[in-house]
Structure 1
Amino acid sequence: MFVRETFTKIEAIGGLIAFFGVLLVAKPYFIIKLFHLKENNKENLINNSNNLRLIGTCLALLSCFGTAIAMCSIRKIGFNVHPLFMVSIYALFSCIMSFIGILIIPGLSFQIPHTIKQWILLLSIGIAGFIMQYMLTAGMQREKAARAIAMTYTQLIYASIFDYFINNIFPTGLNLIGELIIIIAVFSIIYFKETIPVINSSNIEIERDVELISFKDDEDSVV
């Protein structure tokens, strides 16, 4: 509703199915009880408390809510602003809020990396985060919000892959099932597109096409 785009049944069903896959991957406490799961020792070392698991899952879901607001805002702005500018605004607010948090939260202080491994990991976070933000912003300017948000669920798959190589934790059967459900749901949203004639949608698409043309003209003039 915020970006005046149609939300089809395929996107709604696919989003719910993908969310169910996310629950299987996250494995909150009620999922563990429901399926009578037993975790390996490494997972117990990382997730040694059910309360911490619940808090982590809730915070992750809350971050998804914030991501949805940000992505809808980017979609609303459209091609009126260059993606690099929006990424710069995000980085600026991140620096300000992090600086304030370090000052007011007890036990936190400014630190610099002490080893080469720490530098490499932090640089990897910075570089990968910048690329992710830029690509996500540019993609949101070109695709519907609901479909783009559904695509973000695939990051759990990449997280499981890197979790195996970094923490040596191989995905369990329920993780693999959840990731497979996410893949099927996301590609179903992309492949099955409902062709519902909506009167206002044509005007919206025309407006976005005009924005895209003017955006490309501005880039060409800068070059």
Structure 2
Amino acid sequence: MKASIWDNRGLFLILISQFFCSTMSLTARLLETTPERFHPLQILFARQTITSTGSFIWMRWNSVSHAPLGEKGVRWLLVLRGIGGFWGVFGLYYSLTYLDLSDATVITFLAPIVATWACSVIPGLNEPFTRHEILAGVVSFLGVVLIARPGDLFASVAGAGDEAESAPGGGEDVIPHQRLVAVAVALLGVLGASTAYTTIRLIGPRAHPLIAVNYFATLCAIVSLVSLLFIPSIGGIVWPTSAYQCALLGGIGVSGFVMQFCLTAGLQLEKVGRGTNMMYTQMLFALFWERLIWGTSPGWLSIFGSIMILGSALYVGTRKQKKAEPPAARTDEEVGFMERRGSIDLQEEEEQQRRT
């Protein structure tokens, strides 16, 4: 039992990361619903600044090898991981401007499928994209669809004309063209996120997980700060006015740090097919927070979708990988017999050579 748990430690790290990811999303929602209405880029800046600072301090304290830039041979992969991660986050946040949270979330769950396929065709990885993983991925994605129920998204995109719709949160009206652009940017975010997942597998053990996290967090913090300072439409930086808001901003940074560390470490230990399927459990934690904080109960579709997600994750996580069994140890009698047999064969061969 202990060996089985240790063999699946990568999956457990990813599961922990999804819990903190849901906690981070909960904190972001609480910040965005305060009277000050913190902009998503400001929340991202706070989160990634704390994550980057925590990563740097941890690496210095533990004398992580080649920190903070990593080995020269993998620096371009680390930069690519940071760029992919940024576009993944940007695609999600931009789509939330015009799409409901459920619509935007269900699109992001396309990233694990894309990443699994990419790792099966990239030279050097060639990870098997088995029928079991394809089935688990499809079932998990269908479970997410049942929970999110994004029917309005496809109905509005397919509809004709530019009739305005209500924006998420009761904001300005959104026309179908804007929603279509939001879907396109969300799909760009899917490519970014899948690039980040795939790059982590390419890096593997050649870089400490915190080095990869630091690249991503630092890049996002810089871009967010520049956007807050130089894009007038954002409205600038909003300063917290209460201990509650300060605690939320600090909490989102700590949650982001733990999430990124566990996710990166988990993906370095697990191949993407098994690891990214576990990410669907984030929806289960989201349902838990919805019930605990806002008192909302999931419907039967959400419950059934949750069962599909959890069942697929457990199926992939507990499925044993086939490994070559080492040869069984031979007894002393077997070794002695083989030595005698070899000696007899050698004598017969020498006798045969003399005769010829």
> TM-score, normalised on structure 1?
0.72
Give the equivalent residue in structure 2 for 1:204: none
| Aligned counterpart for 2:246 among listed residues 103, 110, 119 | 119
- Distance change in 2, residues 1:31/1:114 (3 Å): closer
Deviation, structure 1 residue 196: 9.3
Distance in 2 (alpha carbons) for counterparts of 1:60 and 1:46: 15
| Aligned counterpart for 1:170 among listed residues 297, 319, 325 | 297
Give the equivalent residue in structure 1 for 2:259: 132
Gaps of 5+ in 1: 34-43, 198-223
How many equivalent pairs are there? 187
Name the SS of the counterpart of 2:287 in structure 1: helix
Give the equivalent residue in structure 2 for 1:220: none
Equivalent runs, 1:1-223 vs 2, <5 Å? 1-2=121-122, 3-29=125-151, 63-102=189-228, 103-104=230-231, 106-193=233-320, 195=322
Distance in 1 (alpha carbons) for counterparts of 2:188 and 2:290: 22
Distance in 2 (alpha carbons) for counterparts of 1:123 and 1:63: 26
Give the equivalent residue in structure 2 for 1:41: none
Give the equivalent residue in structure 2 for 1:203: none
Name the SS of the counterpart of 2:233 in structure 1: coil
Gaps of 5+ in 2: 1-120, 156-165, 325-356
Does the CA contact (< 8 Å) of 1:75 and 1:145 recur in 2?
Answer: yes
> TM-score, normalised on structure 2?
0.47
1:114-167 CA distance string (max 9 Å, x none)? 112211222221111110100000111111011111111111111111122222
Deviation, structure 1 residue 90: 0.8
1:61-106 CA distance string (max 9 Å, x none)? 6645432221110011011111111111111111122123222251
Deviation, structure 1 residue 185: 1.1
- Distance change in 2, residues 1:110/1:31 (3 Å): closer
Give the equivalent residue in structure 2 for 1:202: none
Name the SS of the counterpart of 1:177 in structure 2: helix
1:26-68 CA distance string (max 9 Å, x none)? 11026999xxxxxxxxxx9966689799988877666454322
- Distance change in 2, residues 1:62/1:151 (3 Å): farther
- Distance change in 2, residues 1:184/1:56 (3 Å): farther
Structure 1 residues 178-187 or 167-176, which shifts more?
167-176
Q: Among all aligned residue pairs of Structure 1 and Structure 2, give the percentage whose two residues are the same amino acid.
A: 32
